[in-house]
Structure 1
């Protein structure tokens, strides 16, 4: 059996994306570092917290010396970059623990929230958007579009607060926040799933209009294509024409939308995690920003940027795999 060989076009695309990703990550790190340096907040006092005003100034000076915050900015950045290459993301001044430990303990919950939401959004928008396109101009189509436009104008935090008021406080169907009940002694799948229903639903509703309207318009255009009209002329069933021909054609540009819309999905998760008190990276990012915890904020920003760049690369590769006629030229 002959070993599999990668397509030269794929290798070229990966190389060109890496050539773009490295400067982007470098610029992002410099930007976050400069913001941290420009902050009027004293890292030593931030670390000491409420006791900063009663702490011996010599102790605060020793903390600054240990961290090297009084060194020239190029020296501080070179030291931070060197530690980064060694896997040391620094020390969180707001949580009093290594940044790597903070991210490791919370990244999984954020990935779970985003992953489940993305799966529900894709499945729901593909189904509802396709049906709306097939019945374009009808009552269902008009209702879907009106609802999508209305939701687009609603901030995600407002949707989250409304969901808590109705489904948690008024009806009592779901918890208002957290991942487990207050009396729980362990984390179980059923308990976590029950607590994630509202956050996932809110994030899904806030992100669905973009995908739904895109699928609706793409499928509506595909229904006018020659090969779809030919399939209808051959007497194929409407369901077969709709899902086997029109939707298949509309899926190609839909893949690009998934990759380009990921940053907004990540941004929405930050607000949702904060409102529902979920222990993910989103809520920690807000706490880091409010507490001027720039080592933690810089690490989260850098990781999020890398994930978005990787998602865009995967989207390009998936687009080519779905349609071999598309040539990868980077």
Structure 2
């Protein structure tokens, strides 16, 4: 019981340290976003008005600038945004003309759905292909998986997205091209599921090469360890040796790798949502960036950073819980 209590205390301290570390990191990210946006050559007033900016009078433009606070200094705008955050107000998005909190609340569930399904696809593909490739090392499947994995490491998600659209949406016409539903249709489970298939597969496949090669390498290393040799010496079947003795050892570094892949997953979600017009939070990043939308950019950047920090923390906690030999030192 004392050992279990000590272990729980170590993990609790790990979580506490990571949460304390996250606060200054998120603050630095918010300040950095404001400074970078201030250096942008784009004028937010043009994005706010659109084509109407050419017919608007100077008085109208000046009044709008004053109302939106565009003439204020960057640090004054930053201070106003930070004070609002402390009071629970994330500000108003100039590009969406809605409260930032409302935009996030409307779009975040769709991004979570896409990322969750895409991550599940990547994990299943990596585990199945990686285990079979390592199990049949040197065989045709192993050589094919290794070659395809290395070849796809340098292909960005938007290229996979365009190829998938060309083949499955425009060529075979099996799946819809983009959007959440067909035009004029409500967001039913059937509609969302059909439109989710292609972007989720593209996002999942784009993350698979690193994962499948890592699973293959980790499993090959685990197959050479003493406890696996002992299992074979006891006459256990090869399937039992691989799946019950070698694979659990190989999965520990795989869980850690999943945590380090969160930034790539976030970046991939931005590209996939943009190509497929998926109405998620990542697609809003592009809109906010083009509009130099300070409040929206800061909120989305902080949210993405928080997701990366949380993913890394969860991966470390999972490894610490699964393997008592791991010291939860943060």
Aligned length: 326
Whole-angstrom CA distance in 2 between matches of 1:165 and 1:73: 44
Q: How does 1:104-253 map to 2 (within 5 A)?
A: 104-184=105-185, 186-253=186-253
For residues 212-242 of structure 1, give each alpha carbon's deviation from its aligned partner in whole angstroms, at most 9, with x where no partner exists.
0000000000000000010011111111111
For residues 117 and 71 of structure 1, what CA distance do their matches in structure 2 show? Answer: 42
Q: Secondary structure of the residue that 1:137 maps to in structure 2?
A: coil
Q: Within 1, Cα distance between the matches of 2:68 and 2:291?
A: 18
What is the CA–CA distance in structure 1 between the aligned matches of 2:155 and 2:72, rounded to whole Å?
46
Q: In 2, are the aligned partners of 1:151 and 1:205 still within 8 Å (CA)?
A: no
Contact preservation (8 Å) 2:48, 2:291: no
In the alignment, the residues of structure 1 paired with residue 43 and residue 179 of structure 2 have an alpha-carbon distance, to the nearest angstrom, of 32
Q: Is the 8 A contact 2:222 2:247 kept in 1?
A: yes
Paired position in structure 1 for 2:256: 256
Query: Is residue 120–residue 204 contact of structure 2 (8 Å, CA) maintained in 1?
Result: no
- SS of alignment partner, residue 261 of structure 2: helix
Contact 1:45 1:60 in 2 (8 A): no
Q: CA RMSD in A?
A: 1.7
**In 2, distance between residues paired with 1:153 and 1:80?**
39
**Would you say the 8 A contact 2:223–2:229 is kept in 1?**
yes
**What is the CA distance between 1:297 and its match in structure 2?**
1.7
Q: Is 2:97 aligned against 1:96?
A: yes
Distance 1:180 1:72, change over 3 A: closer
Partner SS, residue 302 of structure 1: helix
How far is the alpha carbon of 1:195 from its aligned partner? 1.1
1:50 is aligned to: 51
Deviation of the 1:26 alpha carbon? 1.0
1:274 and 1:45, CA in 2 relative to 1: closer, same or farther beyond 3 A? closer
Query: 1:265-304 counterparts in 2 under 5 A?
Result: 265-304=265-304
Displacement of 1:56 in angstroms is 3.4
Distance 1:78 1:176 in 2: 43
Secondary structure of the structure 2 residue equivalent to 1:7 = helix
Write the distance in 2 (CA, Å) between the matches of 1:67 and 1:288. Answer: 15
Cα drift, residue 183 of structure 1? 4.1
Q: Deviations over 1:133-180 (max 9, x none)?
A: 111111110011111112223221111111111111111111111111
Deviation at 1:45, TM superposition (A): 4.2
In structure 1, the partner of 2:306 is 306
Runs of 4 or more consecutive aligned structure 1 residues displaced over 6 Å after TM superposition: none
Aligned residue in 2 for 1:37: 38
The answer to whether the 8 Å contact 2:161/2:199 transfers is yes
Alpha-carbon distance in 2 for matches of 1:230, 1:290 = 60
* Cα distance change of structure 1 residues 300 and 238 upon mapping to structure 2, 3 Å threshold: same
Q: Shift of residue 119 of structure 1?
A: 1.2
- Note if contact 2:43-2:292 (Cα within 8 Å) is conserved in structure 1: no
